[in-house]
Chains A and B, each alone.
Chain A
Amino acid sequence: MILKPGARLISAVCTAELMTVKAPKTDLEVTIGGVATIASATARDGSVTAVAGHDSGTLMGKRYVDEADTIELLCTKAGSGAVAVNGELLQLKEAKALPASD
């Protein structure tokens, strides 16, 4: 699929939901828990489970990036599945915590 900033990604295997912050304009295969994402959480029926090696989880509020830093996804709902693009597991992007200024 082609991802645009603002596109939502919903897991078929766990509660995880992510929002696209940036993405290249190329066809991408996004999986959570090793299974292709779905259009709506209501389509999740619990019959599919995570693939081994794709079960390290996604954390609320954290951002996930690929090695080349071409794609960035923000987790809006935590889940037990890990997110991968074209088979590559995305890495947690470390960010410095800042004091609440407003």
Chain B
Amino acid sequence: MHLSSFVEMVESGFDDRVLLGDQKSRITGTEFGFLVRLGATQVHNQYASVIYVGENHSLLPVALFAAAWAGVPFVPVNYRLEDRQLHSLLERYPNSLVLTDPLTSDRLAGFSPKVFEKWLDELSTIDLEEVGPTEPAEDDDDVAVVLFTSGTTSEPKSALLRHRHLMAYLLGSVEFGSAESSEAVLVSVPPYHVAGVANMLSNLFSGRRLVYLASFTAQEWLTRVADEKITHAMVVPTMLSRIVEHLDGGVLSTSTLRSLSYGGAKVSERVIRQALQAFPNTGFVNAYGLTETASTIAVLGPDDHREALSSDDPMIQRRLSSVGQVLPMIEIEIRNEHEQVVAAGESGLIYLRGEQVSGEYAGVSLLDGDGWFCTRDQGSIDADGYLYIEGRVDDTIIRGGENIAPAEIESVLLAQPGIAEACVVGLPDDEWGQRIVAVVVCSEGHVVDPKTLQDSVRDVLRGSKTPEEIIVRDSLPHTETGKMLRRVVLSELVARQGGSAS
């Protein structure tokens, strides 16, 4: 199926239901469909793609669906990139309609940008009968959305999601129209992240009103949840920890929030426990997925969260650090280095297969002959089917022939009092091949002695897994969705040592 059919479904099912906008401006399904049709007339036969580079906007879905209807890809780009990088990404998509916000517009002089708000104003002056409506595109093998990977390990790549991948995800995971008309979701994830795209599509598909937060602060997020009577929200880990920090032990027992999902990067178990206490009546959902899998492929649901929080059984308690069970339409295999499927509980590389799995970058498909996609994430599945993510295989440290996952050491460091963040990397070492170095950030008001910390880690892990050096810093570099930029940490440490990372 094609996203243009999605627009027609919205017009049919949610004709008079308010789907977009806050208390000031409200757009129904019929109005949304009309805006999309108007937008498509300005794209069809004129542009090769629609780029959106700007903050979140309450009518952002109009840009994505107008591109889809006109049969061209929608390419959301991170407006926070520095000029040089931003321009180089835009140059990859020549002859595009570049939609932007007023602040970013000045930085895009050579790309004939249009401020999105003004473009919408222009649409409202068009007479659809006069210009002639654009027929909806219908080839579901066309590219619907292009997303640039965050580039934690290398230069950003263009990941391609075709209409059939996105529609397979929606049809498989969301029941059309299942939301009540009083439900509203607060979107605070950025539009250029797969979570932002999935957030938009899933909620529209369920008929839930979308309220956009232009840019995130904990205070603003909490205010909007209360003002707009928000029932659903999705946040990335950094946001969750800022919200919890902002509440400072406060309990929101009367919040309208029914469901709070989080994902996009690893979350510390401590933050989740605090969040569960801060929102005692909210259902928590942890979602795991990749850009290349068109968003979520595994979910840890609300009951799993509360059960783990109250259980005495360590096997159930630890589920709080799992990403739950895979969706019914996804096949998963954990394979060892010989590509053999391992037993329950054993670690290996995560392989996925399913209709929503794209596994494709511009010019190259990474799916094997049988349709399997190697995520390059390391993980294990326990006997009950709960999936545990152990980090990127590319981050694996090999010390004296032993494979060590940084995540294992980081979680031990994070469990120590006064440690807010931890990043473990392997530095080139003549004797061991690689040696383990940890960089930590202390929680506010805490001072940590590296030597004492090292001893505490050694009490839990073997000596070979204990960092040989622990460096205390004020901060660590992250992507905006909270993924740690390991390659930046690593290259800084390597430079300090006077060599190059291999």
In contact, B2 and A5 (Cβ under 8 angstroms): yes
Give a binary string over A67-101; 1 marks a CB under 8 Å from any B CB, 0 the rest.
Answer: 00000001111000000000000000001111111
Give a binary string over B375-409; 1 marks a CB under 8 Å from any A CB, 0 the rest.
Answer: 00000000000000000000000000000000000
Q: How far is the CA of A77 from the CA of B397 in the complex (A)?
A: 55
- B484 is an interface residue with CB less than 8 A from chain A: no
Cβ contacts under 8 Å, B299 to chain A: 98-99, 101
Known A-B contacts A60-B177, A100-B206, A100-B285; A77 and B140 likewise in contact (beta carbons under 8 Å): no
Q: Which of A60, A98, A102 has the most CB of B within 10 A?
A: A102
- A21 is an interface residue with CB less than 8 A from chain B: yes
In contact, A19 and B9 (Cβ under 8 angstroms): yes
Binding site for B on A (CB under 8 A): 4-6, 8, 17, 19, 21, 60-62, 74-77, 95-102
Q: How far is the CA of A61 from the CA of B178 in the complex (A)?
A: 7
Some 8 contacts from A to B, beta carbons below 8 A apart, are A61-B13, A99-B261, A99-B301, A100-B232, A101-B234, A101-B285, A102-B203, A102-B296
Which residue in B13, B175, B287 is a CB contact (below 8 Å) of A101? B287
Known A-B contacts A5-B2, A6-B5; A19 and B173 likewise in contact (beta carbons under 8 Å): no
Cβ contacts under 8 Å, A17 to chain B: 12-13
Cβ contacts under 8 Å, B13 to chain A: 17, 60-61, 76-77
In contact, A76 and B12 (Cβ under 8 angstroms): yes
In contact, A5 and B140 (Cβ under 8 angstroms): yes
Cβ contacts under 8 Å, B177 to chain A: 60-61, 76
Expressed in whole angstroms, the minimum distance between the Cβ of A85 and any Cβ of chain B is 18
In contact, A6 and B8 (Cβ under 8 angstroms): yes
Q: Which of A19, A61, A96, A101 has the most CB of B within 10 A?
A: A101
Stretch of B122-130, B194-202, B246-254, B488-496 that contacts chain A: B194-202
Cβ contacts under 8 Å, A61 to chain B: 13, 175-178
Q: Which 6 A-B pairs have the closest CB atoms?
A: A6-B5, A101-B287, A76-B12, A61-B177, A76-B13, A99-B301
Give a binary string over B422-462; 1 marks a CB under 8 Å from any A CB, 0 the rest.
Answer: 00000000000000000000000000000000000000000
Q: How far is the CA of A64 from the CA of B171 in the complex (A)?
A: 13
In contact, A19 and B12 (Cβ under 8 angstroms): yes
